[in-house]
Amino acid sequence: MCAHSSGAMGFPLRLLAREVYDRVRAIKGDAAVALITGEERIEPPGARYMCCTVEAMPRDGGDRAFVALDEAQLGADRERGHVFTDRLLHTRGREETMLLGAATLAPLVRQLVPEAEITTRPRFSTLTHIGPRKLSRLPPRSAIVAFSAEAVYTVAEMLRRFRGGAAVVMGGLSPDTRNRQVELYQSGEVDYIVATDAIGMGLNLDVNHVAFAGLSKFDGVRQRRLQPAEMAQIAGRAGRYQRDGTFGTLGGTGKRMGETPEFTEEEVYAIEEHRFAPLTHLYWREAEPRFDSLDTLIADLEAPPNDPVLRSAPEAVDLATLKRLSEEPFAAQIRKAANVRRFWQACSLPDFRQRGPDVHARFVARLWQDLHGGYLGADYVAARISELDNTSGDIDTLQGRIAAIRSWAYICQRPDWVLARDEMASRARAVEAKLSDALHARLTERFVNRRTAILMKTLGQDASILPIALGEDGVLRVEEEAMGRVEGFRFTVDPAARAEDRRMLLAAAEKALPGILGERAAALAGTDLAEVELTRGALRWNGQELARIELRDGGGDPLLHPAREIAALPDGPREALLAALAKWLSVKLSPLDALAKLHHAARNPDAGSQARALLLNLIAGHGYVSREQAGIEHLPKEMRPFLRKIGVTFGALDIFTSALLKPAPRQLLHALGVDRRPLQDAMLPVLGDTRKLPSGYRHAGTQAIRIDLAEKILRAAHDARAKSQGGNQRKDRRRKFVLDTALPVSIGLEADNIVRLLGTAGFRVQRARSLADGAFGPPRPDSWEWRPSQRKQERAVPARPREGSAFAALADLVR
């Protein structure tokens, strides 16, 4: 590139773009070279050379004399492959275009770009497999490659303990931090470097040996074993030019890292001889879709390729976000091509935080709402960046903030999104570097953590010999170092512990926990269980579930199903605790004796089918049921005394058991999870808010009244009607009477709601005439009459089917 008058190179990683940028800048000067990535833009006016990530690379090459695409074989990558394929097909230099990649890409290049000249560069050094090597036997100037942040940190910590330390290189670090780590290794201050597979793409280091800490990785879809070409890409960091190198696996780490990797003979042969199966396809997606509408845009992005060696790219995050947000109401306002293009650019924001499509889509939706009106204000962006300028917290917290600041760094790089773009971009880069440095410092602190040193020292030994004790604060400690916390009977590993440490902490804790928790269970069983509470169908102590409760057929003696932690206790303490809980529960459930009576009566064969049906309705209603739903019309009158004897009340509107309408049984039914309807804890006589009718109440106009008190009012009304008719054997239902409303008023019902409640039961009021003008004396009382619902009377006498119909004939047969 430097041999041409101008040029542009696209790289797969921003770290590699930054490395080449520094090298070209040293040759051509600061003013001649630009660096453009998603999160960083250094673009001097008139810059003739450009180093950028592939996504940020101009599709037309920027009208430069030379254009190069590095690692072109990544066109077969599921997530980013379509970008590499598009640059391979369309990005060209005026004088020369160079596609750099593995030989496995050659057949596809011949087919897609027939005019291309394919040149192979043989490796001057050889790679030799030397098998597994333990950390203690790794040769100096070695690179250890792991495929997760946890594994990288674990290996680095072990090297810090056994070999004096190691440099750490990961894609999530800022370029400045990465460079300082590389310099730490290159200067010889440490002899080892631990990195992710990002080391396989362009980090040219003084490495003699590459050790694989694992041979599988998560590729965004599944955990899979590396392909031989991917293994060779990483192993090829060893040696370089005319210095031979070796590769192998990291042995003796199975207990530490949960994996004992080893190459197969076929993989070793392929890597040493550099023979790999050629690629059969590249992923493709329309790079210049139409922006007429969102539907047109989505259709173009999902259009299949025309060439048989190209395959439609799997749905990437940007397209998934576009499709998800296109269904939102605000998407209907996105009509003009300029708005559609701008919306697509917002949806193309990378998901740096990796928190799932829903969370990312919501972030993009908020971003679009702010962008739709124009630019993001500098004050607003500065405030968001300032919120992330905080170096406190653990490793996960810092990594989350770095991911978030990368999103804002990307946003600040857009030319038409942010006011004072250069200033905001500079702030975002500074915060990212600051957070990366803090993360590195935190990792260094973890490498010398005393607890980790203790665990590492006891690897392979019996953990029961460790002095483990439970403090009064609930913290489980080994040699005064916290291992985790015991809450109730549940042990929780220290949240600051790494994933690999968790296994060792649990192994050490499991030896002592049965005895410690057994003592705690015995102590709890010997108390009055005052701290135990019944909620959500379970017994809980200090917020932890001890046992689930199952009521046999909804009543009777309860069954206790102990929680997993309780079931793991030694037999003696567990049985003692469960017996104490069962005894406590039997006393606690005594207010539900009336419900148990209903169950017992429902199983009584003397009750008859009609009574059992009514009892089952009462049980299903947890103590009450309306007359309309009770099926009372089928109940023989001679069965009513039997039901009244067990506490059943036959009301004017409802059939209920008064004992179950008290606060204690209703609270218990709710706590057991049997009755999930809204609960009114105090079971007050009258409620003012009837939007959610609590269990045990019925509507009374704009108020709600407890069912048993509503029946008391209705019974008083019927008594007043009967009293007004005296000893008349043939009572006149329409005979008017005077009703004293002192009872409902004392309960709390308002005047209009008294009328509405009584009206539900068939009572009608006739307002008394007011006194004439100038007349004195008490006002005339209102008169009432009882008019049963006509519909109710009609239901009592079944209608005769129409004569001559099939139903009429059927009725005759039944008779």
| Pairing status of strand 167-169 against strand 192-195 | parallel
Query: Any residues with CB less than 8 A from the CB of 118 and at least 6 apart, and which?
Result: 106, 109, 110
Long-range CB contacts (within 8 A, 24+) of 555-563? 555/592, 555/595, 555/596, 555/598, 555/599, 555/619, 556/596, 556/599, 557/586, 558/582, 558/585, 558/586, 558/589, 560/585, 563/489, 563/538
Q: Is the pLDDT of residue 791 over 80?
A: no
Give all strands of the β-sheet with 624-626 in edge-to-edge order: 624-626, 654-657, 648-650
DSSP state of 770: P
- Say what percent of the chain tops pLDDT 70: 88
What's the burial of 223, exposed, middle or buried (CB within 10 Å: 0-12/13-18/19+)? Answer: exposed
CA distances from 131 to 134, 141, 437, 679 (A): 10, 17, 36, 68
Query: What is the predicted pLDDT for the residue at 450?
Result: 46
Domain locations in the chain as residue ranges:
7-112, 127-273, 284-447, 466-585, 592-791
Q: Is the pLDDT of residue 456 over 50?
A: no
What CATH number was assigned to the domain covering residues 127-273?
Answer: 3.40.50.300
pLDDT tens digits, 273-296: 888 888 899 999 998 999 999 999
Query: Would you identify the CATH topology of the domain 7-112?
Result: Rossmann fold (3.40.50)
- C-alpha closest to that of 40 among 23, 64, 63, 15: 15
What is the number of residues in the chain?
A: 815
C-alpha span between 537 and 749 (Å, rounded): 35
Q: Is the pLDDT of residue 180 over 60?
A: yes
Coil, helix or strand at residue 96: strand
Contact 784, 763 (CB under 8 A): yes
Coil, helix or strand at residue 475: strand
Least confident of 76-85, 139-148, 240-249, 253-262: 253-262
C-alpha span between 21 and 252 (Å, rounded): 40
Residue 559 vs residue 651, higher pLDDT: 651
Tokens of 519: 């003592």
Contact 131, 249 (CB under 8 A): yes
Q: Is the pLDDT of residue 154 over 90?
A: no
**Number of separate helices (H) and strands (E) present in the chain:** 29, 33
Which residue in this structure is represented by tokens 């048993």?
708
Query: What is the predicted pLDDT for the residue at 253?
Result: 63
Query: What is the predicted pLDDT for the residue at 796?
Result: 44
Coil, helix or strand at residue 599: helix
Residue 456 vs residue 446, higher pLDDT: 446
- Say what percent of the chain tops pLDDT 90: 24
CB atoms within 10 A of CB 135: 21
Residue 616 vs residue 552, higher pLDDT: 616
pLDDT tens digits, 355-411: 778 889 999 999 998 887 788 888 989 999 999 999 898 877 887 888 899 899 989
Contact 147, 440 (CB under 8 A): no
pLDDT tens digits, 31-56: 999 999 888 888 899 899 999 999 99
Contact 672, 549 (CB under 8 A): yes
Indicate if 127-273 has the same CATH topology as 7-112. Answer: yes
Query: What is the predicted pLDDT for the residue at 374?
Result: 81
CA distances from 638 to 607, 615, 616, 642, 796 (A): 11, 15, 19, 8, 19
C-alpha span between 643 and 8 (Å, rounded): 92
Query: Any residues with CB less than 8 A from the CB of 580 and at least 6 apart, and which?
Result: 524, 525, 526, 529
In one-letter notation, the amino acid at residue 363 is F
Q: Is the pLDDT of residue 304 over 90?
A: yes
What's the burial of 68, exposed, middle or buried (CB within 10 Å: 0-12/13-18/19+)? Answer: buried
C-alpha span between 316 and 78 (Å, rounded): 8
- C-alpha closest to that of 460 among 260, 256, 154, 258: 256
Query: What is the predicted pLDDT for the residue at 224?
Result: 85
C-alpha span between 7 and 65 (Å, rounded): 6
Mean predicted lDDT score pLDDT of the chain: 83
Phi then psi dihedrals of residue 539, to 5 deg: -90, 130
Least confident of 28-32, 257-261, 625-629, 786-790: 257-261
Q: Rounded mean pLDDT of 639-647?
A: 87
CB atoms within 10 A of CB 82: 26
3-state secondary structure 276-312: CCCCCCEEECCCCCCCCCHHHHHHHHCCCCCCCCEEE
Q: Rounded mean pLDDT of 667-696?
A: 86
Q: What is the DSSP string of 304-365?
A: PPSSTTEEEPP--HHHHHHHHHTTSGGGGG--SHHHHHHHHHHHT---TT---HHHHHHHHH
Coil, helix or strand at residue 706: strand
Contact 349, 413 (CB under 8 A): no
pLDDT tens digits, 346-363: 999 988 887 778 889 999
Tokens of 695: 């269990």
Q: Rounded mean pLDDT of 148-177?
A: 76
Which residue in this structure is represented by tokens 């790999």?
276
Q: Is the pLDDT of residue 8 over 90?
A: yes
Query: What is the predicted pLDDT for the residue at 793?
Result: 45
Which residue in this structure is represented by tokens 């057994």?
518
Q: Rounded mean pLDDT of 140-152?
A: 87
DSSP state of 772: P
Residue 716 vs residue 772, higher pLDDT: 716
Residues 485, 487, 492, CA angle at the centre, nearest 5°? 45
Query: What is the predicted pLDDT for the residue at 556?
Result: 53
Tokens of 204: 């040219």
Query: What is the predicted pLDDT for the residue at 294?
Result: 93
Residues 75, 79, 80, 82, CA torsion sign:
positive
CA distances from 622 to 275, 594, 660, 736 (A): 75, 10, 8, 37
Residues 21, 22, 26, 30, CA torsion sign:
positive
